Structure 1
């Protein structure tokens, strides 16, 4: 049993006494320092504390200590263990230290790429705080919301970084707070009052088969390097496109043991830890890729299939160099900087062409691209037949590289091209026009007639039938159809400007 008493020890040079709570356990004394100070005037003739406020504070602390110890078996504890246990709750934990420990544990579990995201999030948090020792007590909702506001100009980090740090916080609470025994070392929880924004929706990066053919047929830019990035970029793009959109990290990590009888078998690094089937897939290597397999094949004694790990430190470096090379090829094609491709362009393109031009369903595309498709548990039970994915991949390769058939997205780009806008919809007095006007979803007027030279004349005719109750500045939508050509366009005009 531990016995407590509020005491002072030696006088400091400034004339104050530090207040301690003495703990006697198994006849041995220990001392717990408080933040209270007293002078000689606050002590009685026996040297005991005589200040009512200090005594009240110490009494509350002693009651709290007693309640906490009553929940533990401390008979065999030393007095130091008792003191350390009681003082532990008062010490503010370092969030940065725990986050680094959490990240190291992730790496030990093989979650290297996820650990990197957590590390980037912690680094940004520490830069914002101006210290590498961010404390848990510092993480209040106002401060965290201000940190997230500092991320608002980013596309993805504004969601990913806070989510990572929230997960670290939750794991720390599980580890350090023992609510059953009333041990609460992390007292703050900002996350219920923190609003995490959604990441910007990823831009659809797919390009047409026509653009693919142009990309892979262009002369590579000249380079003094024996290993030009443009060549690497084009080769990696070809591998990604002809292996059903494989990720660069999976290409980088392929082993010789993963390539058997013309088929590569691997577990997708991004999702293998979160899926019952470990994101396993087999993909047949099409003949068009065999020269590249030979070109980058590693030495016989090397366990890796390709030699990239000798040239690049890790898969991130490999991916970055591949993307830089792809952009070099795009520059040679005089593609504007804001429209240049990356590795993911060719992954997205595979899925788009498979669905739009090769007649695959979305579920078939997802299966071939190794998405779980909402059947995560089921895929862990069965040994799937991957041959349908091989057949679909062969169709995509055939369509892009061994035909000149126009792709649907290529046709769509032609239709949407600004230069073709007028060519696609022009009126003449001989054409039959069917036009309607809508305000807040309600049909205002319609007309079917000939004799219109342009769309402005059609809209002017419709406007004569509008009621006077439409407020100035409100929008009306005009649907105008060239009946003869079976083409319809929609225009928006506002009262006071357009009509």
Structure 2
């Protein structure tokens, strides 16, 4: 049986002559200690360091009574605790969870794990909560279903935001309200953060529930809305490729990385950023997709054939992007600016690097009539419906090569038609018959 008692130890004496009263938690032959808010001096103690001050004793007895009741309520689950975990349970069981602080700690752990994209998304959630509550501290109890409905209206409306720039100076901007798709993603990420908090502070095995409510049972995030297809026509791909740009400009960077992504089955910007010469062997690029490599058992590995059009671009950018840009975020910023310039130069309204991935996929499926499984393999996606089957089937990269070959055949075919000179139509002579 676990016990708790108030203790004062000589070696805990502070420089001002006071002692902090400790709560000793004894369980399974081990002792752990809890600090209290009570301090005593020598005259409040006996020679054997027993507390004799009745006021302090009454306060301590109330606290000990609460701890003993908490231990008793654990009943059979007490056997699952060590002295240390029991100490932590008694210390934290009634302590409120500060949600903003948790979010910041979780975001830092994501950055440490290299999940910078997810960390950036979750930082947006954290910042918007501070904007909504207008304070830096928010209890997790305040994240409830009624709050979520009000928060949703807040996110849909235009709002003024203050953020710190890279020099630590505040910058005020006006943010437009989120679209239906943006709102869904935002609330989905908030739900993820809430679930992570429950995972950290609740322990079903030990019967510990510091976060007892779950607002997303009443407030439903729902399914994502159907998004507009984000693909360009093949004519636009050629128009973009042949668009004249200033050497070493952001527009040139955006144009050439778009084409490189299209040539390499829709490779993402972050993966191009981290590509090294070690990824290139035997005429292929072997890499693990950064976005999902930590979420899949196969580490999101894919092997893509290097086609002729991709070679000069790879030589130009592999291992150069990391020297040119401090992080993928800086590369994405440059691409954003470059794409904006390209939209003005080409007249193509919708153009981002991610559209190259969608364009490749749409061309493979709708122009080449390839089945979705093969297109999915080329995009390095996981087929959720065939997870068990995938255990038995080894990946054949020749399928990816075939998808790539047929998409490029379409591009080259349209290119050859454009380059082919048009035959002039000969005027037909009309023989006039004599009346």
TM-score normalised by L of structure 2: 0.69
Q: Is the 8 A contact 1:276 1:376 kept in 2?
A: no
Give secondary structure in 1 for the equivalent of 2:369. coil
Deviations along 1:123-152, whole A, 9 cap, x unmatched?
222222222222222222212332233223
State which of 292, 300, 305 in structure 2 corresponds to 1:284: 305
Structure 1 partner of 2:258? 237
Structure 1 partner of 2:19? none
Query: What does residue range 161-310 of structure 1 map to in structure 2 within 5 Å?
Result: 161-178=186-203, 182-196=207-221, 198-220=223-245, 227-296=248-317, 305-310=318-323
Q: Is the 8 A contact 1:330 1:341 kept in 2?
A: yes
Query: What does residue range 106-145 of structure 1 map to in structure 2 within 5 Å?
Result: 106-145=110-149
**1:83: Cα distance to partner?**
8.4
Structure 2 partner of 1:17? none
Q: Structure 1 residues 399, 390: closer, same or farther in 2, change over 3 A?
A: same
**Distance of 1:82 and 1:369 partners within structure 2:** 49
- Higher alpha-carbon deviation: 228-237 or 202-211: 202-211
**Distance of 1:212 and 1:178 partners within structure 2:** 53
Q: Structure 1 residues 200, 320: closer, same or farther in 2, change over 3 A?
A: farther
TM-score normalised by L of structure 1: 0.61
State which of 67, 76, 88 in structure 1 corresponds to 2:72: 67
**1:326: Cα distance to partner?**
2.5
**1:161: Cα distance to partner?**
2.7
**Distance of 2:24 and 2:402 partners within structure 1:** 79
Q: Is the 8 A contact 1:2 1:23 kept in 2?
A: yes
Give secondary structure in 2 for the equivalent of 1:269. coil
State which of 102, 105, 108 in structure 2 corresponds to 1:104: 108
Give secondary structure in 2 for the equivalent of 1:150. helix
Query: What does residue range 46-57 of structure 1 map to in structure 2 within 5 Å?
Result: none
**Distance of 1:196 and 1:205 partners within structure 2:** 24
Deviations along 1:320-374, whole A, 9 cap, x unmatched?
3223213312201234xxx231112221111122222223222222221212233
Structure 1 partner of 2:150? 146
Q: Matched residue pairs, number?
A: 355
Structure 1 partner of 2:163? none
Query: What does residue range 335-484 of structure 1 map to in structure 2 within 5 Å?
Result: 335=348, 339-374=349-384, 375-379=386-390, 382-404=393-415
Give secondary structure in 1 for the equivalent of 2:304. strand
Structure 1 partner of 2:424? none
Larger Rg belongs to: 1
Q: Structure 1 residues 32, 191: closer, same or farther in 2, change over 3 A?
A: farther
**1:82: Cα distance to partner?**
8.6
**1:287: Cα distance to partner?**
0.7
**Distance of 1:215 and 1:24 partners within structure 2:** 72
**Distance of 2:135 and 2:141 partners within structure 1:** 14
**1:228: Cα distance to partner?**
0.8
Q: RCO higher in 1 or 2 (8 Å CA, sep ≥ 6)?
A: 2
> What's the C-alpha RMSD, in Å, of the aligned pairs?
3.9
Gaps of 5+ in 1: 5-21, 34-46, 49-56, 297-304, 408-499
**Distance of 1:366 and 1:24 partners within structure 2:** 60
Give secondary structure in 2 for the equivalent of 1:347. helix
**Distance of 1:139 and 1:318 partners within structure 2:** 35
Q: Structure 1 residues 138, 64: closer, same or farther in 2, change over 3 A?
A: farther
